[in-house]
A and B are shown apart, each in its own frame.
Chain A
């Protein structure tokens, strides 16, 4: 089955720890995205990557880092510098330059205490 997967679904961390969220896609999409969603709110773009080994900051990149070493993978690290890391994190991918439609993963709910 083609799709985009995120793991784990739920993640708990202590304050001050870095944590890495996984995102993998087998859709052969060039572009991948990370969004953050807070309760009752829309999605805000953290980082995006349109090609391997390249990525750009979104609207709320502070306290986050990403890498794009492989086309199918776009892991997000939530660092201890992120002041309010507890949120629902969504990864998406799209055929950049062909279609604007973004396909979303199931999300990871991160709780930091």
Chain B
């Protein structure tokens, strides 16, 4: 079915270390993905996006990798900081012109000082 899921519901990382959050998707027609960060009691914030014709995209301290062969997406956060503690969601869009995002269930990232 068209679903986006995450491998791990929680992740704890030492401050300063790198973190990797994973996301699996099942629809091979998915052609656009977004990572969002949601802090407690707030709305999600855009982090980075990637189109299906790309394998990798980098932002400030974040990198998204897309492996279409195994339908896997990951978000790498370098040199984690306490402010990175949040729930991270991946979301996908299937099909050109489709404005609907399908969200995964999220991974809670906790940065240990």
A is bound by B: yes
Give residues in A with beta carbon < 8 Å to B: 31, 35, 40-45, 48, 50, 58, 90, 92, 94, 96-97, 100-107, 109
Taking a contact as CB atoms under 8 Å apart, the answer to whether B43 and A106 are in contact is: yes
**Which B positions have Cβ atoms within 8 angstroms of A?**
4, 9, 32, 34, 36, 41-46, 49, 89, 93, 97, 99-101, 103-106
Check B42–A102 contact: CB distance below 8 A.
no
A-B CB contacts (within 8 Å), total count: 54
Q: Nearest Cβ distance between residue A87 and chain B, in whole angstroms?
A: 13
A41→B105 contact, CB < 8 A: yes
Residue numbers in B under 8 Å from A105 (CB-CB): 43
B49 touches A100 (CB 8 A): yes
Closest B residue to A94 using CB positions: B99
* A104 touching B105, Cβ below 8 Å: no
Q: Please, which residues of chain A bring their CB within 8 A of the CB of B43?
A: 90, 92, 104-107
What is the chain B residue whose CB lies nearest that of A4? B43
Contact status A100-B45, CB under 8 Å: no
Instruction: Report yes or no: A42 in contact with B106, Cβ–Cβ below 8 A.
Output: yes
Give bound CA distance, A44 to B36, whole Å. 14
Which one, A45, A50, A103, contacts B46 given CB within 8 A? A103
Using A43-B103, A58-B100 as known contacts, say yes or no to A100 and B93 having CB atoms under 8 A apart.
yes
The 4 closest A-B pairs by CB, nearest first: A104-B43, A42-B103, A43-B103, A42-B105
Q: Which residues of A contact B4 (CB under 8 A)?
A: 42
Contact A100 B104 (CB under 8 A): no
Nearest residue (CB) in B for A58 is B100
